[in-house]
A and B are shown apart, each in its own frame.
Chain A
Amino acid sequence: MISQLRPALVMLGAFTVLLGLGYPLAMTGIAQVTMPRQAGGSLVERDGAIVGSVLIGQAFTRPEYLHSRPSATDPAYNAGSSTGSNLGPSSAALLAQVRERAAAQGPGPVPSEMATASASGLDPHITLDAALRQVDRIAAARGVPPAAVEDAIRGATTGPAFGLLGEPIVNVLAANLALDAQEG
């Protein structure tokens, strides 16, 4: 037992320096030099101010903006403290939430992601279907033709993953930046 103590301590010390400092700091250096935008969090600037990260969703409540999914963080889209609701499928609380959200966006069944909270509370996307349902509202609020709104949405849309999986999805922040830019 005692004879193994020196190997254990020396190896632990050496690996802590190599793997705990050397490796992450080297990765930080390489990433900051070769891929500074991503390494810094893919932040988006407008007029010199940081307006968010293209990867992190934001809460949108005004009618002229494309709305994101519901979020379980406090407040919604708190990127300093991510969380999902973790409510189970048989939860009465979840059922009440879904009912309320669906009623607010109805009539009729709404896309599931618009009535449910995401895992992170920071989901930056909604499906194209859910986005197109908001076109008329946005166009009316902005006083622009629906086609212009649809253009902005389609510009922020990416196809099904690997051309195989699921539906096209829209980056909400990117679509809203494009909408604002149209007014320029």
Chain B
Amino acid sequence: MAGDLTFFALFLAGLTLMGAILGPWMARVFTGRVSFLAPVEHALYRAAGISPVGQRWTAYATAVLVFNAAGFVLLYLILRLQGILPFNPQGFGAMESSQAFNTAISFVTNTNWQSYGGETTLSHFSQMAGLTVQNFLSAGTGIAVAVAVVRGLAARSAADIGNFWVDLTRTVLYLLLPGAIIIALLMVWQGVPQTLAANMTATTLEGGQQVIAQGPVASQVAIKMLGTNGGGFFNVNAAHPYENPTALANLIQIYAILVIPAAFPFFFGRMVGDRRQGWAIFAAMSALFVAVLLWAYLAEAAGNPLHASLVEPGTSMEGKETRFGLAQTVLFAVATTVASCGAVNAMHDSFSALGGMIPLLNMLLGEIIYGGVGAGFYGMVLYVVLTVFLAGLMVGRTPEWLGKKIEAREMKLAALTLLVMPLGVLVLASASILTGNAAGSVQDQGPHGLTELVYAYTSGTANNGSAFAGFGANTTWHNTMIGIAMMLGRWGYVIPVLAIAGSLAAKARAPETAGTFPTHGRAFTVLLVVTILIVGALTFLPVLALGPIAEHVSVADGQAF
């Protein structure tokens, strides 16, 4: 226990340090002060007919949508045609159409929900040219949008919020690709395969045959973590010993998930010329992170009361890997769901009732505790807008943030985004139940079955991609509906938040006065945390009560289903 808590404290210190180093680097990249790959950039812009000048928010949003649509079509075609494409040593045929739709949407929206099992469905070509590419580009899209939002906040009376193509290219060239190369090589060093070979057959010590799936795993694992994508090479994702072979590999992967999200507040602080603004947001994120981490840790450490007389006291190892143990399993589960990663190194479905509720809660809050790459920060921007609005109501002044007045238009847009999660989670999950599509897909009886369903739709809407994997999501209904939830959860935030960025960019910065509510310091951080909990969590309290909380009291009472 003491060792585990020490580890968590050291982890957080390390994350803070990395964020504080990477944030300023990002500020240099996105203000054009890093240019050692300028020839590559300019060649790309020339070939694509791009003039790298600022775009209004409408043009920026259009570019995002057209680029994502093109990415969707290409990925869908690759999945459908993989049977006749190269690098297919296992001879896999086309993916079924509703599953290919779901998978293509999933990777374009940075969700990376796995309705498929990687090693039994996908060719090496689909993994590389299909999924790995969207791992970079969906992450790049999220980061670009968040950069544009920060630029809008930092600007004074500006018409534009930057250029999407430039932001995307710079994200890939100066952030994601170098990071992925380093992480991929570290992963191979730790034992993650990187080969184009077909599956191997081994003759085991007892004389049996063991088929061992192989592939270009490390290159995909690296970016699936760094880009908070989370779509695994193998069915069981980062729980597979080839995808995550050691405790050190596991730690590197957790840092890879959170490093860019943790850098964003520092980047923001630099860009708006007031680092305290970034620290206040980072502090709110970290406070929530510590809370959910400790909750999940204590819930998992308690073990399963139903098995108490059968196994030794301590955590239930069902769905967990021995090499990670309790601390690294819980840390991974929390990291992957506070960010929009969704990779798993344990089966969340088999977590204790309250331990499994934390990943669900992390997603329902909107993945803003560090959050997905880019997506986490622009999600947090919306909460900040709400917080200053509430603060403004309390003191009876027009709310301001960074000297910019938050007015009706921004508030309407921010309020609109509050509807996305309830719509995707509550409405679509209810529709599944009412149309009779839930009962056949849930694996477990009792309240746990409801949690499986709600987790699936939450994961889709939050663009997370982790699952209570007992849930049979590969049906036409769920492939389609979760596909819709993923679109809603992506562009339902991207478009309003870019609109807010455009409208804030256009505003002048009013000077600070004695009546200005400061958006830095402890009071603001506390208010932000409270707003997140009230707005984010209360909506979902009833469904949490019917699912994990009901299961917890049942299990405590000796009831199995």
Assembled-state Cα–Cα distance A115/B323 (Å): 16
Interface residues of A (CB under 8 A from B): 1, 4-12, 14-16, 18-21, 23-25, 27-28, 30-32, 35, 38-43, 49-53, 55-62, 65, 69, 77-92, 94-95, 98-99, 102, 109-113, 115-127, 160-162, 164-167, 169, 173, 176-177, 180
Given the complex, which residues of A lie within 8 Å of B136, measured CB to CB? 15, 19
Known A15-B172, A38-B188; contact A82-B236, beta-carbon cutoff 8 A:
yes
Task: Report yes or no: B560 in contact with A169, Cβ–Cβ below 8 A.
Answer: no
Task: Report yes or no: A12 in contact with B67, Cβ–Cβ below 8 A.
Answer: yes
Given the complex, which residues of A lie within 8 Å of B50, measured CB to CB? 7, 11
Given the complex, which residues of A lie within 8 Å of B14, measured CB to CB? none
Task: Report yes or no: B193 in contact with A86, Cβ–Cβ below 8 A.
Answer: no
Q: Which of B113-156 contact A (CB under 8 A)?
A: 117, 119-120, 128-130, 132-133, 136-137
Assembled-state Cα–Cα distance A20/B71 (Å): 13
Q: With a 10 A CB-CB cut-off, give which of B251, B470, B554 has the most chain A CB atoms.
A: B470
* Interface membership of chain B positions 332-356, coded 1 if the CB is closer than 8 angstroms to chain A and 0 otherwise: 0000000000001111011111001
Task: Report yes or no: A8 in contact with B67, Cβ–Cβ below 8 A.
Answer: yes
Given the complex, which residues of A lie within 8 Å of B440, measured CB to CB? none
Q: Separation in Å of the B450 CB from the closest CB of chain A? A: 11
Task: Report yes or no: B322 in contact with A10, Cβ–Cβ below 8 A.
Answer: no
Given the complex, which residues of A lie within 8 Å of B117, measured CB to CB? 81-83
Known A7-B48, A80-B120; contact A123-B241, beta-carbon cutoff 8 A:
yes
| Any A CB within 8 A of the CB of B514 | no
Interface residues of B (CB under 8 A from A): 3-4, 6-7, 44, 47-50, 59, 62-63, 66-67, 69-71, 74, 117, 119-120, 128-130, 132-133, 136-137, 165, 168-169, 172, 177, 180-181, 184-185, 188-197, 199-206, 208, 210-214, 216, 218-220, 234-236, 239-242, 245, 247-248, 251, 303-304, 306-307, 309-328, 344-347, 349-353, 356, 443-448, 451-452, 468-470, 551, 554-555, 559-561
Task: Report yes or no: A55 in contact with B317, Cβ–Cβ below 8 A.
Answer: no
Known A43-B200, A82-B236, A111-B312; contact A87-B218, beta-carbon cutoff 8 A:
no
- A117's partner among B197, B206, B319, B326 (CB-CB below 8 A) is B319
26 pairs, A vs B, C-beta closer than 8 Å: A7-B165, A11-B48, A12-B74, A23-B181, A31-B188, A38-B189, A38-B190, A40-B214, A49-B203, A51-B202, A53-B202, A55-B245, A58-B206, A78-B210, A80-B119, A83-B235, A84-B350, A87-B470, A88-B356, A90-B446, A92-B560, A102-B311, A120-B240, A124-B241, A124-B323, A169-B322
Q: Separation in Å of the A38 CB from the closest CB of chain B? A: 5
Task: Report yes or no: B48 in contact with A99, Cβ–Cβ below 8 A.
Answer: no
Known A15-B172, A28-B219; contact A94-B318, beta-carbon cutoff 8 A:
yes
Q: With a 10 A CB-CB cut-off, give which of B169, B208, B446 has the most chain A CB atoms.
A: B208
Assembled-state Cα–Cα distance A126/B321 (Å): 9
- A112's partner among B234, B311, B323, B443 (CB-CB below 8 A) is B311
Q: Separation in Å of the A53 CB from the closest CB of chain B? A: 6
Task: Report yes or no: B132 in contact with A91, Cβ–Cβ below 8 A.
Answer: no
Task: Report yes or no: A40 in contact with B347, Cβ–Cβ below 8 A.
Answer: no
Question: Can you add 12 more A-B contacts, CB < 8 Å, to A23-B132, A27-B218?
Answer: A4-B63, A8-B67, A11-B48, A27-B181, A59-B208, A87-B318, A109-B309, A111-B311, A119-B319, A120-B236, A165-B4, A166-B327
Task: Report yes or no: B63 in contact with A89, Cβ–Cβ below 8 A.
Answer: no
Task: Report yes or no: A98 in contact with B325, Cβ–Cβ below 8 A.
Answer: no
Q: Separation in Å of the A173 CB from the closest CB of chain B? A: 7
Q: With a 10 A CB-CB cut-off, give which of A6, A15, A98, A127 has the most chain B CB atoms.
A: A15
Task: Report yes or no: B192 in contact with A38, Cβ–Cβ below 8 A.
Answer: yes
Given the complex, which residues of B lie within 8 Å of A109, measured CB to CB? 309-313
Task: Report yes or no: A85 in contact with B319, Cβ–Cβ below 8 A.
Answer: yes
Task: Report yes or no: B203 in contact with A120, Cβ–Cβ below 8 A.
Answer: no
Given the complex, which residues of A lie within 8 Å of B189, measured CB to CB? 35, 38
Task: Report yes or no: B346 in contact with A98, Cβ–Cβ below 8 A.
Answer: no
Known A19-B172, A126-B322; contact A79-B211, beta-carbon cutoff 8 A:
yes
Q: Separation in Å of the A178 CB from the closest CB of chain B? A: 11
Task: Report yes or no: A50 in contact with B310, Cβ–Cβ below 8 A.
Answer: no
Assembled-state Cα–Cα distance A19/B173 (Å): 10
Assembled-state Cα–Cα distance A167/B314 (Å): 12
Q: Separation in Å of the A111 CB from the closest CB of chain B? A: 6
Assembled-state Cα–Cα distance A99/B236 (Å): 25
Minimal Cβ-Cβ distance residue in B for A106:
B310
Q: With a 10 A CB-CB cut-off, give which of B7, B130, B196, B212 has the most chain A CB atoms.
A: B212
Q: With a 10 A CB-CB cut-off, give which of A84, A88, A110 has the most chain B CB atoms.
A: A88
Minimal Cβ-Cβ distance residue in A for B120:
A81
Given the complex, which residues of A lie within 8 Å of B7, measured CB to CB? 162, 164-165
Given the complex, which residues of B lie within 8 Å of A94, measured CB to CB? 318, 350
Q: Separation in Å of the A113 CB from the closest CB of chain B? A: 4
Q: Separation in Å of the B372 CB from the closest CB of chain A? A: 19
Assembled-state Cα–Cα distance A164/B165 (Å): 45
Minimal Cβ-Cβ distance residue in A for B314:
A112
Minimal Cβ-Cβ distance residue in A for B90:
A80
Task: Report yes or no: A82 in contact with B66, Cβ–Cβ below 8 A.
Answer: no
Q: Separation in Å of the B244 CB from the closest CB of chain A? A: 9
Known A86-B319, A89-B353; contact A161-B191, beta-carbon cutoff 8 A:
no
Minimal Cβ-Cβ distance residue in A for B135:
A19
Known A16-B74, A38-B189, A119-B321; contact A112-B49, beta-carbon cutoff 8 A:
no
Task: Report yes or no: B306 in contact with A56, Cβ–Cβ below 8 A.
Answer: no
Known A28-B196, A43-B200, A162-B247; contact A86-B307, beta-carbon cutoff 8 A:
no
Given the complex, which residues of B lie within 8 Å of A125, measured CB to CB? 321-323
Minimal Cβ-Cβ distance residue in B for A52:
B202
Given the complex, which residues of B lie within 8 Å of A124, measured CB to CB? 241, 323
Task: Report yes or no: A80 in contact with B180, Cβ–Cβ below 8 A.
Answer: no
Given the complex, which residues of B lie within 8 Å of A116, measured CB to CB? 311, 316-320
Given the complex, which residues of B lie within 8 Å of A38, measured CB to CB? 188-193
Given the complex, which residues of B lie within 8 Å of A59, measured CB to CB? 204, 206, 208
Task: Report yes or no: B202 in contact with A88, Cβ–Cβ below 8 A.
Answer: no
Given the complex, which residues of A lie within 8 Å of B62, measured CB to CB? 1, 4
Task: Report yes or no: B448 in contact with A120, Cβ–Cβ below 8 A.
Answer: no
Q: With a 10 A CB-CB cut-off, give which of B48, B168, B180, B192 has the most chain A CB atoms.
A: B48
Q: Which 4 A-B pairs have CB atoms at the shortest separation, nearest pair first?
A: A166-B325, A86-B470, A161-B247, A119-B239
Task: Report yes or no: B241 in contact with A57, Cβ–Cβ below 8 A.
Answer: yes
Given the complex, which residues of A lie within 8 Å of B204, measured CB to CB? 51-52, 58-59
Task: Report yes or no: B241 in contact with A86, Cβ–Cβ below 8 A.
Answer: no
